[in-house]
Amino acid sequence: MLINEISKILKYIFPKLMWKNNKLEIEKTIYLTFDDGPTPEITNYVLDLLTKYNAKATFFCIGNNIKSNRELAQQILKNGHKIGNHTMNHVNCWHVNANEFFNEYQLCENEINSLGTNSVGFRPPYGRINRFVYRKLIHYTPIYMWSFISGDYNRKNNPNTILKSAKKNIRHGSILIFHDSKKAFPILSIILEPILEYCSQNNFQFKTL
């Protein structure tokens, strides 16, 4: 599904999850986020495009990918972007208990701290959360969901449909989610630049969370 149908029930059960950014920005601002990296070549591709459009973004990194690609993770920071926590091993919180999940969060946090920076927040892998994890994590970190999911991870999605949906749904304060992963690259490489172009032409600023 391309248009993110955000469940009102989820918002009711987990009131502090952030589906858009509540910072009061005066200018039209959107928040690009890239999950699952850093991935050699693909993250570099994203970084180059972001530089071209003078865009800042937030990368929700997998701890183990930081560990394997430390220079690339440092490059993200050097380019003025921010890093967020996406667990050490991309764990599905429905498949482990709250303590195991928290450990995954903490291990990723340690990797981020070892780069000399702090995580800007947490994004749950697969967008999945439960009451136990929520209650524990919300004391430690903002939890960022999204307002527009690109669907780049599913090769069956039609890039033209994604672009149409993006133009229809992106607005001030939107958090957009993409993936700097091998799986997403065939679609990401088609949609990312046109979305950056569209947002630039419509005077959106791209900022970090």
Residues in contact with Zn ion by the rule CB under 5 A:
35-36, 125
Alpha-carbon distance 118 to 135, whole Å?
21
**Min separation Cβ 36 and Zn ion, Å:** 4
- Distant-in-sequence, close-in-space partners of 200: CB < 8 Å, separation ≥ 6: 53
Nearer to Zn ion, 28 or 183 (CB): 183
Q: CB nearest Zn ion: which residue? A: 35
Question: Rounded to the nearest whole angstrom, what is the least distance from the CB of residue 92 to Zn ion in the complex?
Answer: 10
Of 37 and 142, nearer to Zn ion (C-beta) is: 37
Nearer to Zn ion, 124 or 142 (CB): 124
Collect all residues with Cβ–Cβ distance below 8 Å to 31 and sequence separation of at least 6: 21, 57, 58, 173, 174, 175, 176, 206, 207, 208, 209
Q: How far is the CB of 197 from Zn ion (least distance, A)?
A: 26
Nearer CB in complex with Zn ion: 84/125:
125
Give the nearer residue to Zn ion in terms of CB position, either 70 or 90.
90
3-class DSSP state of 112: helix
CA distance linking residue 18 with residue 89, whole number of Å: 23
SS3 content of the chain, % helix, strand, coil (to 5): 40, 15, 45
Residue 52: other Cβ atoms inside 10 A: 12
Cis peptide bond prior to 15, omega within 30° of 0: no
Phi and psi angles of residue 79, each rounded to the nearest 5 degrees, phi first: -80, 5
Q: Least distance in Å: CB of 18 to Zn ion?
A: 17
Instruction: Give the nearest distance from C-beta 35 to Zn ion in angstroms.
Output: 4
Nearer to Zn ion among residue 21 and residue 181 (C-beta): 181
Spatial contact of 19 and 177, defined as CB atoms under 8 Å apart? no
CB of 155 to Zn ion, least distance (A): 16
